[in-house]
């Protein structure tokens, strides 16, 4: 067993920001970050558009950013949370820049501000079209300078340790005491006892067949919190990004940033018609729930597999300067954006709901905190405004830190049992895991997609039940295996999305039931 003062699960913007702050403030305390892949392999690393913050106080204002966020959230945001996050934004961005993150500036040396769907002003701070890569780089560099942080990469958190594991503990309230972690290289399971645990485990993209997310996004933190009986909400609000590059196979799809539409690109159907003009006065720059639903509608009407993003009328030299990564990626696929339209289709991108936290990042379980994409803070409501996610992670990482400075988690004197895997064996038929994973992703893609219906959702419950039974049995009989655990977590997440979709009776933001 390992003991630590602070355990962080996840090495994206949320986990790293929190860890840097705690480590700097408490040089005599130790912090462990566990992360299941390479330390930089996160949704954060792939963020393109940028961070939404109000900097230009001549044209923009906090009120405008608040209003845009509330409109996108379609009446379901928590207004006091929106205000808090928007107002904190500039301070948190400044801090990130002091830690070494570089963002593009204009000819006058001011930060260059981009625009994305749903934003009434230019306010998206970015590093070309690889903002997340730069943020992750800067944070990891800072982390490596801090000697009281231990980064355990390729370590998979299996489950949170709660009262459930400590039979002798007499307590009415649920508490978290750390996590059981699988060291993938050796196959050992480590018990990490922690005074405080922060879940910063990111999104759920891979529950769907088509996603913009890297393969780490399997909803592990949400599933762990759910099994530990934390409150989970708003899971029906899965956000589909309108413009993932169209590809026939399943798995991660390359994103064509919304900032490209902010730069003036048009959406066209196969006939060349700019269909968004008839849908919303903001046309291609309507919020992404509206754009994704409109594309879905176009595809259902025409039977086509994708629509197109047309950049051919844009200043291509300026395009290359702003979006070098997108330009090169297209070129590598023989798409010359100065002449060719880019085939695009909506793909699962972001989860607006998740583990319920208060403004200090506290979950419903004592000593368990959460920040970043795995949480439901109340900022996004029924649909996240573009580029509000990195912002939310920065603000909530800071809020947990601030709250813990005022109320330092107490050292735990407890005996925690080791992981018990008696009677289990190494799963012999990986094909079973792969087959069920494909079934799950197809089920979610086809029955629980952009537009839902009670009939299809009810069928999804039945199909998911079959997958659940098969995988739960395999899990109980098996030694820990990362792919199997991820699948089990995705099944839990799918269950939450389907059931909360069935419970929702009113269409809001990204949720459309017909
Ligand atoms: P992540 O960055 O995903 O980090 C999660 C971490 O948890 C990873 O290290 C992972 O390995 C670890 N982890 C997960 N499960 C386990 C486990 N069981 N055990 C151990 N470790 C685990 N947002 C914006 O605001 N602006 C943008 O421009 C933008 N562009 C985007 C573009 C793309 C292609 C994508 C996919 C997302 C984009 N987003 C954007 C969303 C944003 O990037 C994410 O919401 C945000 O980075 C999430 O940060 P995070 O720290 O919460 O999670
Ligand atoms: C994008 O660049 O389009 C992604 C922005 C986001 O998800 O916030």
Handedness of CA 199, 354, 252, 439 (dihedral sign): positive
Q: Say what the pLDDT of residue 250 is.
A: 74
Distance 14 CA to ligand 2 centre (A): 17
SS3 for 247-299, per residue? Answer: CCCCEECCECCHHHHHCCCEEECCCCCCHHHHCCCCHHHCCHHHHHHHHHHHH
Q: Cα-Cα-Cα-Cα dihedral of 75, 131, 326, 109, to 10°?
A: 110
Q: Could you give the count of Cα atoms lying within 13 Å of 222 in the half-sphere of its Cβ?
A: 32
Query: How is the chain split among helix, strand and coil, in percent rounded to 5?
Result: 40, 20, 40
Read off the pLDDT of residues 262-293 as tens digits, 9 standing for 90 and up: 999 999 999 999 999 999 999 999 999 999 99
- Rg over alpha carbons for the chain, rounded to the nearest Å, is 22
| Alpha-carbon gap, residue 269 to 1, rounded angstroms | 58
pLDDT above 70 coverage of the chain, percent = 100
Minimal CA–CA distance to 13: which of 156, 101, 135, 151? 135
Q: Is the CB of 191 under 6 A from ligand 2?
A: no
Distance 165 CA to ligand 1 centre (A): 29
Index of the ligand 1 atom closest to the CA of residue 158: 18
* Residue 13 pLDDT greater than 90, yes or no: yes
CA-nearest residue, atom 46 of ligand 1: 44
Look up the pTM and report it.
0.98
DSSP 174-189: -BEEEEEEEETTTTEE
Q: What residue ranges define each of the domains in the chain, with the CATH number in brackets? A: 2-47+130-236+352-406 (3.50.50.60), 243-348 (3.90.700.10), 430-479+481-513 (1.20.58.100)
DSSP one-letter code for 410: P
Read off the pLDDT of residues 323-382 as tens digits, 9 standing for 90 and up: 999 999 999 999 999 999 999 999 999 999 999 999 999 999 999 999 999 999 999 999
Active site residues: 288
């Amino acid at each position: 067993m390992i003991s630590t003062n602070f355990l962080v699960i996840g090495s994206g913007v949320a986990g790293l920001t929190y860890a840097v702050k705690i480590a700097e403030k408490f040089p005599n305390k130790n912090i462990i970050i566990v992360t299941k892949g390479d330390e930089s392999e996160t949704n954060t690393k792939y963020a393109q558009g940028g961070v939404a913050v109000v900097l230009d106080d001549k044209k923009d204002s906090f009120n405008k950013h608040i209003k845009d966020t509330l409109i996108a959230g379609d009446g379901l945001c928590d207004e006091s949370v929106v205000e808090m996050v928007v107002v904190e934004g500039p301070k948190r961005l400044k801090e990130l820049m002091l830690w070494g993150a570089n963002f593009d500036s204009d000819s006058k040396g001011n930060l260059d501000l981009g625009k994305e769907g749903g934003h009434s002003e230019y306010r998206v701070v970015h590093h070309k079209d690889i903002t997340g890569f730069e943020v992750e780089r800067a944070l990891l560099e800072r982390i490596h300078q801090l000697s009281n942080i231990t980064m355990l990469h390729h370590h998979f958190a299996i489950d949170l340790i709660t009262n459930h594991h400590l039979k002798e503990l007499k307590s009415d309230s649920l508490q978290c005491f750390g996590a059981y972690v699988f060291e993938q290289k050796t196959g050992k399971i480590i018990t990490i006892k922690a005074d405080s645990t922060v879940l910063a485990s990111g999104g759920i993209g891979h529950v769907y067949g088509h996603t913009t997310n890297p393969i780490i996004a399997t909803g592990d933190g949400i599933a762990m919190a759910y099994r530990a009986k934390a409150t989970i909400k708003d899971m029906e609000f899965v956000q589909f990004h309108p413009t993932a590059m169209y590809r026939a196979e399943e798995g991660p799809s390359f994103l064509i940033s919304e900032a490209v539409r902010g730069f003036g690109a048009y959406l066209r159907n196969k006939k060349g018609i700019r269909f968004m003009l008839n849908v919303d006065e903001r046309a291609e720059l309507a919020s992404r729930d509206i754009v994704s639903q409109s594309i879905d509608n176009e595809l259902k009407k025409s039977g086509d597999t994708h629509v197109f993003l047309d950049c051919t009328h844009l200043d291509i030299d300026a395009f290359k300067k702003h979006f070098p990564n997108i330009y090169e990626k297209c070129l590598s696929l023989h798409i010359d954006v100065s002449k060719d339209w880019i085939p695009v289709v909506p793909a699962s991108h972001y989860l607006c709901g998740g583990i319920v936290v208060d403004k200090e990042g506290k979950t419903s379980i004592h000593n368990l905190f959460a920040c970043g994409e795995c949480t439901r803070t109340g900022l996004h409501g029924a649909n996240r405004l573009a580029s509000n996610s990195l912002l939310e992670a920065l603000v909530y990482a800071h809020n947990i830190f601030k709250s813990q400075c005022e109320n330092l988690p107490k050292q735990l004197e407890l005996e925690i049992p080791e992981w018990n895997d008696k009677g289990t064996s190494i799963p012999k038929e990986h094909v079973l895991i792969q087959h069920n994973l494909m079934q799950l992703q197809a089920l979610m893609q086809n029955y629980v997609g952009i537009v839902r219906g009670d009939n299809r959702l009810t069928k999804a419950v039945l199909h998911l039940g079959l997958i659940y039974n098969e995988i739960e049995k395999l899990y109980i009989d098996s030694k820990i295996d990362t792919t199997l655990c991820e699948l089990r977590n995705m099944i839990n997440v799918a269950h939450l999305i389907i059931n909360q979709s069935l419970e929702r009776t009113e269409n809001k933001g990204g949720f459309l039931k017909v």
